[in-house]
Amino acid sequence: SGTIAVADNAIDLGASGVRFKDLYLSGGVFLGGTGSANKLDDFEEGIFTATVTPSGTGSMTLDSSQDELRYSKIGKRVFITGGVVISSSSSPTGYMRISLPYIVTNSGSANNSRRSTGSVWISNAGENVYEYQLFIINGESYARIYKGIGTALESNSAQTMSSNNSIYVNFSYETTS
């Protein structure tokens, strides 16, 4: 039997010229501390097939060759980026709903609108591109796209959509898992 030397925060694992190839862990990695907030136990990235639907009546169909969005999930934070193209619409009413790969969760704030950060850009809609706004609600599996006129959000963004309109998004939100 021997003794074990303990050296806290003093040993590097590998170096720039002496790297490890793969690291397989059964748990998470603690970065910058030992508290639960420092534990990274999930990372995922991929592509999902999005849908865009009006909140009211009618329908919207995406071009099947341009209907995917990219996502990265780091812990509970999900990042969405990309663009989709509407191939047809049939009398849509209400605001637009664009599907998400994970359900939105309450981040602890009493204000449901403080769950997301990012932007949306609509092209070929015949409207001012800066008038469209993202809005995320706890428990929903989609992001809402409203028109932002003056000081209010209006629930009529779907009416402005027709074939060949593009919806580009770049935002993040929090999920439960």
Q: pLDDT digits over 117-159, tens only? A: 789 999 887 777 778 888 888 889 999 999 887 778 888 889 8
Q: Are 93 and 159 in contact (CB under 8 A)?
A: yes
Q: pLDDT class for 52, splitting at 50, 70, 90?
A: very high
What is the model's pLDDT at position 168? 95
Look up the pTM and report it: 0.81
Which of 3-12, 26-35, 168-177 is the most confident on average? 168-177
Percent of the chain whose predicted confidence (pLDDT) is above 90: 42
Q: pLDDT class for 110, splitting at 50, 70, 90?
A: low
What is the model's pLDDT at position 108? 57
What are the φ and ψ backbone dihedral angles of 143, each rounded to 5 degrees?
Answer: -100, 140
Structure tokens at 3: 């003794």
Sign of CA dihedral 112, 113, 114, 116: positive
CA 71 to chain centre: 6
Q: Is the pLDDT of residue 109 over 60?
A: no
What is the model's pLDDT at position 11? 81
CA 145 to chain centre: 13
Can you tell me the distance from the alpha carbon of 115 to that of 137, in angstroms, rounded to the nearest whole number?
7
Question: Average pLDDT over the chain, rounded to whole?
Answer: 87
